[in-house]
Amino acid sequence: MTSAREQAQALHERFQGQFAQISADGRLSQQGKVERMAPVYLEYRDALAKVSGDDAWRKQQRVKELTRTAFGVPSDPIQAMSYRDALSRAEGIDDPAVAKYKLASALETGDTLMAQAFAKVASDNGWSEPLRDYMAAVPSTGQALTQLGELQANLNDPQQRFMDVAHFSPSRPAELDRVSDPELQAIVAPDGPTAQEQAATDFSAWVQKSLSNPEPTEQVSA
């Protein structure tokens, strides 16, 4: 499967090639080049926003999937109720040493749901010691927790976010340097954007804002 960055790179190459052709067309005036590039640029911008948005959605779905694998509510209704009650009690702990002790006690007595609840709280708070104890005692959760921690670290890494902004932001040709997006939109649709075009513009703006200032995800420290 092609990665989001590979898709973005393909878009950059495709649209930059189109800009180069328009720029080299000696039959066009400067304004003519701007008018020819305007719809191309807006399509370029919106295509990158869609790739970025789809990638963000897939990553969030993966976070939810891994969280369910490691700490999901049991399917049995009675066990589900017991787990929610255990989680409610475990969430009152604010000391990793206490969580480590309580987790060890739950594991020793075979209270798997209570142990899972303490491990979930340790994960949410980034308490590595009790989480490692849980992974050692319940090896089946190790892979999910490791992958979850790596994914969350990636999502919360400022350098990674900066690189995402670079990968998913359109590169403006020189001819459009002094032309704003609303001005480009006015060139393409002098009577104003359609509802579909406005939705695409709003989505592109939302994606760029999310890339620059994303909501942090809870960190797993294994």
Say which range, 12-16, 106-110, 206-210, has the weakest mean pLDDT.
Answer: 206-210
Give the pLDDT of residue 27. 95
Under 8 Å CB-to-CB from 160, ≥6 apart: which residues? 154
* Mean pLDDT of the region 44-66: 92
Q: Is the pLDDT of residue 200 over 70?
A: no
The answer to the question of residue 222 being in a domain is: no
219, part of any domain: no
How far apart are the C-alpha atoms of 37 and 134, rounded to whole Å? Answer: 57
Give the mean pLDDT of 39-65: 92
How many domains does one find in the chain?
A: 1
- CA neighbor of 125 nearest in space, from 161, 83, 90: 90
Q: Please check the confidence at residue 62 and state whether its pLDDT lies above 70.
A: yes
Provide the CA 212 distance to its chain's centre, in angstroms. Answer: 12
- What whole-number percentage of the chain has pLDDT above 70? 86
- Domain membership flag for residue 70: yes
Asked whether residue 129 is assigned to any structural domain, the reply reads yes
Distance CA 222, CA 167 (A): 30
Range of the domain at 167: 4-212
176-196 average pLDDT score: 82
What confidence score (pLDDT) does residue 4 get? 92
Mean predicted confidence (pLDDT) in 141-150 = 85
217 within a domain of the structure (yes/no): no
pLDDT at 194: 58
Print burial letters for 90-114: b (CB count within 10 Å at least 16), e (below 16). Answer: beebeebeebbebbbebbeeebbbb
Quick check: is 205 in a domain? Answer: yes
Looking at the domain assignment, is residue 220 inside a domain? no
Q: Is residue 48 part of a domain?
A: yes
Tell me the average pLDDT across 9-31.
96
Residue 219 has pLDDT above 60, yes or no: no
Helices 112-125/128-137 angle, 10° precision:
140
Lowest mean pLDDT among 9-23, 28-42, 88-102, 199-213: 199-213
* 33 pLDDT more than 60: yes
Residue 143 or 16, more confident: 16
DSSP state of 214: P
Across the range 113-138, mean pLDDT stands at 90
Q: Regarding predicted confidence, which is higher, 149 or 195? A: 149
Residue 86 CA: distances (Å) to CA of 75, 89, 118, 196: 16, 5, 8, 48
